[in-house]
């Protein structure tokens, strides 16, 4: 999906300081997801669009392995653009918990998965279509980020901090009722995912899908904090 990660953005050794905010680092290239989307493959993530509490270990491992490949390729490409001793600051979604299926990183995707299941039950999309769709998104555990930086070897970790936003942070800092928060979050999730969903399922399901997402989220009582990770790394000599 995001092959730009693996290519250069700028001239070699052009920067001593880079401060990009790559929220897109949470999204993964799509090649690895062919193994999760092949209906003849036992790794198929049946009935789910993302990691869940019922996902087999092989599915979780496939997501983690893709993050490792993508992040390593990203760091290697950026290392050609930053001079030795130069600094790069990254910010992207992450998680504080070891469990990748915890609500902290999966709750919103679970709501969207339930909305998809509702459309299947109504005959609006085929079950096979759902079984072969996997959201190319991953929120890495902070210790895995550190390990990947060390393993790739081009940069030294200077500092890693986690930034926490409240559940209704999408409301611009205003405390809103659950319905308002659900509506705002539905818009945000749709903006990020619409092109991928359209490509796989077609455009005609979009409105009803996210109306259902908003309804499901508004009627649930769970809340989670939004976790972002800020990383400062220094190019090795």
Cα separation, 70 vs 72, in Å, equals 5
Percentage of the chain beyond pLDDT 90 is: 62
pLDDT in tens, 115-174: 999 999 999 999 989 988 889 899 999 999 999 999 999 999 999 999 998 877 655 656
Residue 116: closest CA among 205, 215, 219:
205
Say what the pLDDT of residue 11 is. Answer: 46
pLDDT higher than 90, residue 175? no
Say what the pLDDT of residue 22 is. Answer: 46
Characterize the bridge pairing of strands 15-18 and 82-93: parallel
Average pLDDT, the chain: 84
Helix or strand holding residue 163 (H, E): strand 155-165
pLDDT in tens, 188-223: 999 999 999 999 999 999 999 999 999 999 999 898
**pLDDT tier, 5 (very low <50, low <70, confident <90, very high otherwise):** very low
> What residues contact residue 162 under an 8 Å CB cut-off, 6+ apart?
94, 96, 142, 227, 228, 229, 230
Domain boundaries, the chain: 3-235
Query: CATH number of the domain at 3-235, out of 3.30.200.20, 1.10.1200.270, 3.55.40.20, 1.10.20.10?
Result: 1.10.1200.270
């Amino acid at each position: 999906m995001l092959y730009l990660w693996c290519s250069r953005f700028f001239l070699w050794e052009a920067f001593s300081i880079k401060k990009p905010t790559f929220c897109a680092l949470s999204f993964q290239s799509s090649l690895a997801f062919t193994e999760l989307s092949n209906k003849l493959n036992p790794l198929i993530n049946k009935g789910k669009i993302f990691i869940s509490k019922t996902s087999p270990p092989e599915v979780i491992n496939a997501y983690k392995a893709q993050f490792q490949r993508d992040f390593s390729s990203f760091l290697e490409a950026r290392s050609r653009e930053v001079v030795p001793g130069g600094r790069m600051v990254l910010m992207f979604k992450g998680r504080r918990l070891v469990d990748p299926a915890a609500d902290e990183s999966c709750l919103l995707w679970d709501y969207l998965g339930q909305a998809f299941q509702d459309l299947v039950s109504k005959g609006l999309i085929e079950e096979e279509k759902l079984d072969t769709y996997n959201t190319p998104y991953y929120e890495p555990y902070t210790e895995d980020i550190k390990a990947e930086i060390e393993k790739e070897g081009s940069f030294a970790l200077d500092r890693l901090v986690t930034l926490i936003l409240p559940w209704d942070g999408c409301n611009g800092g205003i405390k809103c009722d659950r319905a308002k928060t659900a509506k705002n979050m539905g818009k945000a999730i749709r903006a990020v995912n619409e092109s991928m969903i359209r490509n796989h399922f077609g455009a005609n399901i979009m409105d009803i899908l996210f109306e259902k997402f908003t309804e499901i989220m508004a009627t649930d009582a769970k809340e989670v904090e939004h976790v972002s990770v800020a990383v400062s790394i220094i190019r090795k000599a």
